[in-house]
Amino acid sequence: MSTPAPAPAALPGAVQAAVGAILDRKGRDVQVLDLRGLCNATDFFVIATGTSDAHVRGLAHGVLEQLDRLGQHAHHIEGVETGRWALLDFVDVVVHLFHPEQRSFYQLERLWSDAPAHALGSG
């Protein structure tokens, strides 16, 4: 079972910006997993669902634009063109944007169930 996560205001600016971009574009079921101390590759996962391939692509472009405004540039991007699972790697923050079926299949929240989690949007 996930443990409580810090309040949204306590999350780093890049995490808040990514979440804001997702919520502005009607992303669903937004979760932030705090992986500090659990994963050497990143500090946070931001996970959200889009309702269609086009929606996932739109969410990805929104996150990229918002973080670019903050001077944060993705070091690695995968899957945006297909819209099934977009991965945006900003090193300290990795954003996973899923089509509903892919999110259900990969179950990242279950895989990282030891991480403190914070639900920031539902739908």
Higher pLDDT, 11 or 64: 64
**Model confidence over 13-44: pLDDT tens digits?**
999 999 999 999 999 999 999 999 999 999 99
**Model confidence over 81-121: pLDDT tens digits?**
999 999 999 999 999 999 999 999 999 999 999 999 988 86
Confidence tier at 123 by pLDDT (50, 70, 90) = low
**Residue 3 in this model has a pLDDT that exceeds 50:** no
**Residue 1 in this model has a pLDDT that exceeds 50:** no
Set out the domains of the chain in order of their start, with CATH numbers. Answer: 12-121 (3.30.460.10)
DSSP string, the chain: -PPB---GGGS-HHHHHHHHHHHHTT-EEEEEEE-TTT-SS-SEEEEEE-SSHHHHHHHHHHHHHHHHHTT---SEEESTTTTSEEEEE-SSEEEEEE-HHHHHHH-HHHHTTTS-EEEEE--
Task: Report pLDDT for 120.
Answer: 80
